[in-house]
Structure 1
Amino acid sequence: MNRRILLLVVLALAAAGSLVWTAIHHFYFDSQVYSEAVRYWFRDDGLVYDFLKGGTVYGFTYPPFAGLVMAPMAYLPLWAIAAAGSAATVVVTVVVVSWFIRTRDWYPLAVASCLALFFEPVRETFGFGQVNMLLLALVAGDVLFGVARGRRWAGIGIGLATAIKLTPGVFILYLLVTRQWRAAGVSIATAAAATLGAAAIWPDASREFWTSALWDTNRVGNLEYVSNQSLRGMLARLPLDSAESVVWIVCVLAAIGVWAWRVRGTDALGGLALTGILGCLISPVTWVHHCVWLLPVLVRCYENRRSNPRVFWVGVVFYVLVCTRVTFLYENGPKPPLAVIGANLYVLFCVALLFLLPRASSDASGSLRKIVPVRTPGVSSAAT
C-alpha cells in the first residue's frame, strides 16, 4: 500500500470513527426534537411552538416554513430519520467540498472530504441530526453557480435557506452590498413567498413565531454556554453585567462594517467565506454545529498557502485546535486569562480571519478551484 492510499485510509477511519462517536454521544438529539415537534403539530393537532421535548427547555425554533419541509418526519421512526439525515450529511459534505476545491482528481477530493467530515462543526451536525450542511449546500450552490454566473434563478437557494432558518439571511445582505440587485430581489421574493405561504396555511403558528418564539432566546439554551461561539456568546461569558447588550450591539455594527469593506471585490468563494464568518459572529446564538459556514474559509486559507503562508497557518491552527474539542474543556465556565481564549476559539479566529482572509486566490497555479468572480460594479478584485 503506497503512502497516498495509506494516508487516505487513516483519514477515512478517523473521520468515520469521529462521526460514529459523535452520533453515539448526541444520539441525534436535534432530530428527536424536530420529529417530536412536527408529530405534535401534524398528528396531535398541537401548536408547534407550544411543544417542549420532555424534561428539557428545547422546542421547535425554526420558522413555520421549516415545519412544512420537515413534515415527513412526523410519520417516520427515529432510526429512519437518523439514517436518512446521516447519509444526506455525508453526501452533501462531499458535494459541497467538490464545489469548493473544483478538481477532477478523485484523491484530493477524497482527502478534503475526510478532513471536512472530521471538522468539529460537521461532525457535530452529523451527531445532532442537524440541517446545517443542507443549508450550506443551498447557499453555496446559489452563490457559486447562480450569482457568480449571472443565472436568472440566482437567489432562490439563499431565499429558501432563509425561509427555513433565518441565519442564512445574512447572504441577502451580501447580495445587496455587492450590488447583485436581481439576485437580491429574487432571494427576498423567494423568502417572502415561502414565509407568507406558510402563514396562509398556519396563521396561528406564524403569529406565535414572529411575535413570541423568535424573540425568546431561552428556547435555544443559555447564551453563555461554551458552545455558543458568537460575539454574544463570548460577551455573555465575560463579567460585563448591564453593559453586555450595548457592547454586543457595538461589536455587531463593527463586524458588519469591517465585513462590508472587505467583501467588496471578492470572488464567489471569498464572498461565501467572509459572509459565513459574519453570520457566525453576529447571530445571537451560534452553536458549534452552526459553524459549518467556516468550511469555505478553510479552503480559502489553503488556496493561499504559497502567497500568504500566515493565513494558511492560521487556518491550520484553527482546524487542529477545534478538531480536538479543546473549547469544551471550559464547558463549566472559563477562568481567565488562558481559559477565556480556549472558551472562545471560534469567535477569536473568526474575528482574525474577518480581517486577514484573502479576497481571492492569488496563486492560480496552486489553487484547486476556479470560479468566475462576482462582478461588483466599480470594484476590482484584489487579494489582501
Structure 2
Amino acid sequence: MTGSALVTRLDVRGVWWVFVVVALAYAVVRGLGSGLVDLHVYRTGGEVWLTGGRLYDDFPGVLPFTYPPFAAVLFSALALPPWPVVMALWTAAGLALFTVACQVAARHDALPRTGLGLAAASLLLEPVRGTLELGQVNLLLIGLVAADCLLPRTPWPRGLLVGIAAAVKLTPAVFVLFFLSRRRWRPALTAAAAFAACGGLGWALAPRDSESFWFHAVLDPQRVGGLAYSGNQSLHGLLFRLGAPDLLWPVLCVVVLVATAVLLPRVRDDLTAVVAVAAAGLLVSPVSWSHHWVWVAPALLVLRGRTRVVAALVFAVGPHWLLPKSRDRELDWTWWQHVVGNTYVWLALAFLVALLIRGGRAASTTGVGAAPDRLETDPAIAFAAERSPRWRGR
C-alpha cells in the first residue's frame, strides 16, 4: 500500500469515527428525552414476554408491538440492562451492521475504499437519521440481508440471515425473490426454512401470542399507524392519500412484483438486483415508513451522475416532512403536494422502470455493447455495464 493510499484510508476511517461518535451521542441524548420510541416498544415487548403478558394488547404510553413473537423473544435481552446501556449498545450495533452493509456493497461495486465513507455520509440521509432517532431495527436488518445476499462466500448457509431477518420483521422475506431470480434454490429454501424455524420457536415459546399475531394482529393495518400519514412512503400510502379505489393497490402490487421478477434475470449485477428487490418490497408493503428506506445508501452506488445527486438530495431532505401532515391533512394535498410528498415512491418506480426498459438492452449487447462515451452519458447503461466482468477488464 502506498503512503498516499494509507493516508486516504486513515482519513476515511477518521471521518467515519467522527460520524459514528456523533450519531451515538445524538441517539443517547434523544433517548434520554422523548426519542427512541421504537426501541421503547421493543424493550417493552421483551418485558411483556418475560412476564407472561399479552404482547398485542395496548401498552400504556407505548406504541403497539407489531412484530412476530419471535422478535419479542429476541428483544427480551433488551429488558435486562439499564436503559442508557440499551440505548448505547443498540445504536452501536445498528451502526456496525449498517457499516457492514455499506462495506459489502462497496466491495461488490469494486470500490472497497468507499464503504466507510458511504456509511458516514449516509448518516445525513433522512431514512438513516429517522432510524437512529426512533431506535428502529432497520440498520441491523440491512446488514443481515446485505451480507447474506452480496458476500461472495459465507461461513453460514446462505439464506439463513434473510430468513432470520424476515422472522423479526416480515418485509425482508421479499429478498427470497433475489435468490430465485439467480436460480439459487438452496439459499431460497434455507431462507424459508430459517423463517419457519424461527416462527416455530416463537410459537413454542409464546403460543397464545403467536395465535394472536398470525391470525389477527398481522391482518390489522391500524396497528402500524395511519395509512394517510405522509411518512408512509409506499404505494398503499400514495393511493390512500389520492383517494384511489381500494382494489387498485393489490393490482399495482402484482404489477410491481411481476415487473421486478421479469427484470431481475436481465440484471447481471447482484448489487443492482438486491437494490431492485428492496425498492419493490418498499413499494408493495402496506406501510413503508420513510425510515424503512435505508436501502437508499447502497442504491447510491448503483446510480450514476445527476441521478445519484438528485436521489441523495431528495433522501437527505425528506420532502414529505415539509408539507402539511398528521390528522389526515394529507388527504387535502394539492396535485403538486402529491408529487412532492410521495417522492420516495416516484423515485423507486422510476428506478424499476429504468431497469426494465434499459437494463435488459445493456445486458444483451455483446461486450456490454456500449462505447465508453455512451457509458459515461447514459446512467442506465453505465450501472449495468460497469458491473460486467468484461467491462471491468477493459
| TM-score tier (shorter) | 0.7 to 0.9
Aligned residues: 354
C-alpha displacement at 1:164, in angstroms?
Answer: 0.9
Q: Could you say which residue in structure 1 is the equivalent of 2:83? A: 78
Q: Is the 8 A contact 2:45 2:65 kept in 1?
A: yes
Q: Which residue of 2 aligns with 1:94?
A: 99
Is 1:257–2:263 an aligned residue pair? Answer: no
Instruction: Report the equivalent of 2:66.
Output: 61
Describe how 1:330-369 pairs up with structure 2 within 5 A.
Answer: 330-332=323-325, 333-334=329-330, 335-357=333-355
Residues 272-304 of structure 1 show CA distances to partners (whole Å, capped at 9, x for unaligned) of 111000111000000011111232221111xxx
Distance 1:12 1:80 in 2: 20
Q: Find the partner of 1:48 among 45, 49, 55.
A: 55
Shift of 1:108: 3.2
| TM-align CA RMSD | 3.4
Q: Is residue 18–residue 118 contact of structure 1 (8 Å, CA) maintained in 2? A: no
CA distance in 1, matches of 2:280, 2:223: 23
- Contact 2:127–2:291 (CA under 8 A) maintained in structure 1: yes
Q: Structure 1 unaligned runs (5+)?
A: 306-311, 374-380
Amino acid at match of 2:177: L
Relative to structure 1, the CA distance from residue 314 to residue 18 in structure 2 (aligned partners, 3 Å threshold; closer, same or farther) is farther
Distance 1:16 1:178 in 2: 39
Contact 1:228-1:285 at 8 Å conserved across structures: yes
Which residue of structure 1 lines up, in the alignment, with residue 320 of structure 2? 327
Aligned with 2:287 (options 285, 291, 294): 285
Could you tell me which residue of structure 2 aligns to residue 217 of structure 1? Answer: 221
- The equivalent residue for 1:378 is none
CA contact (8 A) 1:138 1:158 kept: yes
Whether the 8 Å CA contact 2:98–2:142 is kept in 1: the answer is no
Partner of 1:180: 184
C-alpha change, 1:217 and 1:52, in structure 2 (3 Å) is farther
Shift of 1:211: 0.7
Q: How many angstroms does 1:122 deviate by? A: 1.2
Q: Which residue of 261, 270, 273 corresponds with 1:271?
A: 273
State the SS of the aligned residue for 1:285. Answer: coil
Q: Which amino acid aligns with 1:227?
A: G
| Counterpart Cα distance in 1 of 2:247 and 2:132 | 35
1:232 and 1:9 map into 2 onto residues whose CA distance is 42
Amino acid at match of 1:73: L
Does the Cα contact within 8 Å between 1:64 and 1:199 map onto a contact in 2? yes
Corresponding residue of 2:379: none
CA deviations on 1:3-35 (whole Å, 9 max, x unpaired) are x89999889877876776676386111001111
Q: Distance in 2 between matches of 1:222 and 1:193?
A: 32
Letter in 1 for 2:315: V
Q: Is there any run of 5+ residues in structure 2 with no aligned partner, and where? A: 377-381
Is 1:116 the counterpart of 2:150 in the alignment? Answer: no
Contact 2:68 2:167 in 1 (8 A): yes
Give the whole-Å Cα distance in 2 for the aligned partners of 1:204 and 1:170: 27
- Residue pair 1:121, 1:288 contacting (<8 A) in 2 also: yes
Letter in 2 for 1:183: P
Which residue matches 2:208? 204
Native 8 Å contact 2:35 2:134 kept in 1:
yes
Rate the CA distance shift 1:331–1:169 in 2: closer, same or farther, 3 A. farther
Stretch moving more, 11-20 or 93-102: 11-20
Tell me which stretches of 4 or more aligned residues in structure 1 moved more than 4 Å. 4-23, 103-107, 148-152, 357-367, 370-373
User: In structure 2, do the counterparts of structure 1 residues 72 and 9 end up closer, same or farther at CA, with 3 Å as the change threshold?
Assistant: closer
- Return the match for 1:298 from 288, 297, 300: 300
8 Å CA contact 2:177–2:261 kept in 1: the answer is no
In 2: Cα distance, 1:295 partner to 1:278 partner = 16
Structure 1 length as normaliser, TM-score?
0.82
* Structure (1/2) with the larger helix percentage: 2
